Amino acid sequence: MCMRIIAATLLLLTMQISLAQNYGDKEFYLLDSLDLDAMYDNDRQLIDSCLTVYHHSESDSMKMYTINYLVENSWDIMIWPRYNVLLYELNEELISNGSESMSLDNMLEIKATSLNNDGYYKNKQGEPEQALERYFLSLELFVQLEDKQNTAYILNNIASIYRAKGQQAKSLEYTYESFKIQEEMDNKM
């Protein structure tokens, strides 16, 4: 009898907690089931201000850069990865359909940045192989865009995964490539 009372009480508490969640309006927040009560005040302010700009913007580039800003400046693991996926999907749609306000290079830069962010997330989730896959896709795009700074950055990300996997020779190879690019950039300044 005591176990039934405890089970019933736990069930009621679980139902009450799930009913008490305050989910954001998908039309404004662009995501399903975004629990507003679970986020920190600074993330809520960041999201609200970025999405206000997003919804008032008429240009694709401003919309993409606003979501990217949100992703880059939120540290809540329950929030930024979801917006990063949204950023990737919206950007892929623009790449497929074209954009009047955004160049292909800018769209590819957003794609590369989003892939890098996803690589970081996958690595933090204990999925280094998926992280490497994302990093290599990102690297390919940054090389294509001739973006040396981000190329060097991605090479370091790749090196750190190989180092964590105990593959020191590969880690050193990517670290050296990154260093060469950074050194070349320093000599041009």
Per residue in 63-114, pLDDT (tens digit) is: 999 999 999 999 999 999 999 999 999 999 999 998 888 999 999 999 999 9
Please state the pTM of the whole predicted model: 0.85
pLDDT of the residue at 13? 56
Per residue in 55-74, pLDDT (tens digit) is: 999 999 999 999 999 999 99
pLDDT of the residue at 71? 97
Say whether 117 sits in a helix, a strand or coil. Answer: helix
pLDDT of the residue at 186? 86
Say whether 127 sits in a helix, a strand or coil. Answer: coil
Q: Give the whole-angstrom CA distance, residue 130 versus residue 51.
A: 30
Q: Taking Cα atoms as reference points, which of 62, 60, 142 lies closest to residue 105? A: 142
The number of angstroms, rounded, from the C-alpha of 189 to the middle of its chain's C-alpha atoms is 31
Per residue in 131-166, pLDDT (tens digit) is: 999 999 999 999 999 999 999 999 999 999 999 999
- Radius of gyration from C-alpha coordinates of the chain: 21
